[in-house]
Amino acid sequence: MCTCDIGYAVNGTGVDFECSECPAGTASPDGNACLACPADSFSVQGAGECFECPGNSTSVSGSATCTCWPGYGGIGYGVMLECPSTTAFE
């Protein structure tokens, strides 16, 4: 059986196969297939693994980014840091 590099998936069979880079929101840890990241995780294009959302954020299955919980602010796409509180301390 043919496999591709980590972060890629096999398309086709036998000698007529090619490797395709996994889209964001999926990962291929073994070079066989791109699998959707589970909820509360994310990945970038060509990932070999999904990463857990940082503190105070969440995501649905197959996400490329995480979204801050209500009351917390983010830093923007591509920078996955813990979301700080946007509420003032009393």
Backbone dihedral angles phi then psi of residue 66, each to the nearest 5 degrees: -115, 155
Does some domain include residue 57?
A: yes
pLDDT per position as a tens digit, 11-57: 877 677 899 999 999 999 999 999 999 999 999 999 999 999 888 88
**Residue 55 within any structural domain of the chain:** yes
β-strands 16-21, 8-13 pairing: antiparallel
* Both structure tokens of 74: 């983010």
Please check whether residue 45 lies inside any domain of the structure: yes
Q: Which two tokens stand for residue 35?
A: 């699998």
User: Token pair for residue 86?
Assistant: 């946007």
Q: pLDDT tens across 46-86, in order?
A: 999 999 988 888 899 999 988 888 777 665 544 445 566 65
Q: Are 58 and 39 in contact (CB under 8 A)?
A: yes
Interatomic CA distance for residues 23 and 36, integer angstroms: 9
Q: Which domain holds residue 19?
A: 8-68
Q: Looking at the 3D structure of the chain, how many domains does it have?
A: 1
Residue 25 located in a structural domain = yes
- The answer as to whether 16 is a domain residue is yes
CA 55-56-61 angle, 5° bins: 85
On whether residue 14 sits in a domain, the answer given is yes
Whether 86 is covered by a domain: the verdict is: no
Asked if residue 88 is part of any domain, the answer here is no
